[in-house]
A and B are shown apart, each in its own frame.
Chain A
Amino acid sequence: MIQTIAEYEFIVKISDDEFRRLRDFIYTACGIFFKEEKKYIIENRVSRRMAALKLMTSGDYIESLRKGSPGQEELKRLLDEITTNETCFFRNAAQLKAFESKFLPEVVKKKEKISFRKLRIWSAGSSSGEEAYTIAMILVENCATLLKDWNIEIVGTDINERMLAQAREGVYSPYSVRKVPERFLQKYFTKDAARFILKPEIKKYVTFSNLNLCDDAKMLFMRTFDFIVCANVLIYFEKSDKSKITQHYYNNLQPYGYLFVGQSETLHGVNDKFKTVHFPGGFAYVK
């Protein structure tokens, strides 16, 4: 069934069965799981791709994804359409809650025992920096208590120089900060017309640099992290690259370290060394 929305736009309706087949295919290929509540988003994005490729039925489109290299490229474009515009501050509330209330105190306690008061966190695929700066805000909030006298270092890496420049600048739109709690907005941003400028007291904890996750030599040097966050990045990689990168993450983490991926993402079947810990609304991989 096709509904006409505007003169040059149509939204195709995908049946429940087709949706499940598509999401199973995407999950097997990329490791991202779309719950049924996301069906309307998928329909919308599939429709856009169908219009771009001049395909008339969703069945034809789904078949095209299975066709070798062009299919893989198209799948990446579809994922990009689905996940684009989703990056923002405080994106994954459940993960951040579990991080702050459970995993961070646990790691801090372990390191306090050996008087090693340095925390290193890596935001892999940091894009325009929202994820790295979100973590910085949470850590700064704990600076007077849990993290008193601690040295904090957050490293953001990405392959895109434009994104890195944007991250270093630290200036954001209202859309980017839509999930920031009001008191954080007041405390850590300066508002200038429609721009939200991050204050230096947060920026100083984060450095951004260029890194290709497939660069094995450089990846070897990313050592001794307590936490690694890599959200909606590995979904774009072939399984063999994904395995290699995940093994690097495993090696790069401290013995008790945690790896976080995207809210709908899993690394099932990619690495058998990490264990999973589940919390309400998500899970983390632990060394």
Chain B
Amino acid sequence: MIEKAQYLVRGIPTLPTIPDVFLRVSALLENPDVDLQEVADLILSDQVLTARVIKIVNSPLFKPLHTISSLGHALIYLGFRRINEIVLTCSLIKVFDKEDPSFDIRTFWRHAFGIGIMARKMARLLSYPDSEKAYTSGIVHNIGKVFMWCYLKQDWAKIIRLEKEKQYNSLDAEITTLGATHCEIGLCLAKQWNFPEEYCDVIAYHHSPAHAPRNQTLIALINLADIIYTVCEGVNEDRCGICVNLQEEPSWAIMQNAMPALVHVDMERLFFEMEEQMPVLRKLVSDLFVKPV
């Protein structure tokens, strides 16, 4: 399947690169003595990016005590790690920013942010060493899907039909139509964009963490966060048939092995907190797609 995925990704001559601004911001942030004004000036060169960064930093995701209206203050508030993650998020939004009724881009981003938030929350509860990496993994894990929608439109439509009319599960529908899933496709895309290895692994193995050759704990965390989000989102989609016992999931066993504190985590409360975030996510994503006048 990976060869098929490579063929599909390389077959797109107009594949965008990750926006230049992210690569340049990333390069600047590697220097611990970087002048934040230089980072600000770079971001300010992209009006839409600037507006999105400010919206995100003022959202309940970050809960500043007072509204932050200048990019400079936003960058000071966020700190280096988070600037990088936010600029990456906004860059991905820009790359795939197309209005099209065949794909609900807002649902996609709600899902991405939702898993990012849940993964970060769980990482902190379990003292996983890098909660920001968990957050970014959540944001990027499904880029294969949005690539398929953007560049393989007819195949995407076939996949949706198989899911809706013939009740295929999404991975089977993708393999039947394309010979590869969004996991392999996302992996090829991530490699083309030089994503760090951990993100490539999450993208490739988030549906099968036990098969990952490394980073299984991070991948299992994303898998669990995805399950939690999907159940909570089911309220809006009237999916009363969904029922999940997290402890029976393969990713639970992987996580428990690496982080025994998992059994003490109040999963019931985590679900309540995710449900609480749903309106917040809806508003954030809706705001992010309002173009500045």
Contacts and interface: CB of A to CB of B under 8 A. Distances in A.
A279 B243 contact: yes
A278 B275 contact: no
B234 A279 contact: yes
B5 to A, nearest CB: 32
Contacts of B244: 277-279
B266 A268 contact: yes
Contacts of A37: 276, 279
Given A97-B240, A280-B231, A35 B245 contact: no
B95 to A, nearest CB: 31
A279 B272 contact: no
B238 to A, nearest CB: 8
A91 to B, nearest CB: 16
B45 interface: no
A200 interface: no
B246 interface: yes
12 contacts: A27-B269, A33-B269, A35-B276, A98-B243, A101-B240, A101-B241, A266-B268, A275-B247, A276-B247, A278-B271, A279-B240, A280-B233
B240 A98 contact: yes
Interface string A261-276: 0001011110000011
A275 B245 contact: yes
Interface string B220-254: 00000000100111110111111111110000000
Given A275-B247, A276-B267, A280-B234, A264 B241 contact: no
B269 A102 contact: no
Interface in A57-108: 94, 97-98, 101-103
A234 to B, nearest CB: 13
Nearest to B265: A268
B239 A280 contact: yes
Contact of B276 (A27, A36, A102, A278): A36
Contacts of B238: 280
Interface of A: 27, 33, 35-37, 94, 97-98, 101-103, 264, 266-269, 275-281, 283, 286
The list of the 7 closest CB pairs from A to B, nearest first, reads A280-B234, A266-B268, A97-B240, A280-B235, A268-B266, A281-B235, A35-B276
Given A36-B276, A102-B240, A277 B245 contact: yes
A280 B240 contact: yes
B26 to A, nearest CB: 34
Contact of A283 (B235, B237, B240, B268): B268
A275 to B, nearest CB: 6
Interface of B: 228, 231-235, 237-247, 266-269, 271-272, 275-276, 279
A277 B248 CA distance: 10
A264 B271 CA distance: 11
B281 to A, nearest CB: 13
Nearest to B233: A280
A280 B266 contact: no
B245 A102 contact: no
Contacts of B240: 94, 97-98, 101-102, 279-280
A36 B273 CA distance: 9
Given A33-B272, A35-B275, A36-B276, A277 B267 contact: no
A35 B272 contact: yes
A94 B268 CA distance: 15
B263 to A, nearest CB: 9
A268 B268 contact: yes
A27 B276 CA distance: 15
A137 to B, nearest CB: 17
Given A35-B276, A281-B235, A266 B247 contact: no
Contacts of A281: 234-235, 275
Nearest to B268: A266
A269 B269 CA distance: 11
A98 B245 CA distance: 14
Contacts of A268: 266-269
Contacts of B233: 280
B243 A102 contact: yes
A266 B266 CA distance: 9
Given A264-B272, A278-B246, A281-B234, 17 more contacts: A35-B275, A35-B276, A37-B279, A94-B235, A94-B240, A97-B240, A101-B241, A267-B268, A268-B267, A276-B247, A278-B243, A278-B271, A279-B242, A279-B243, A280-B232, A280-B235, A283-B271
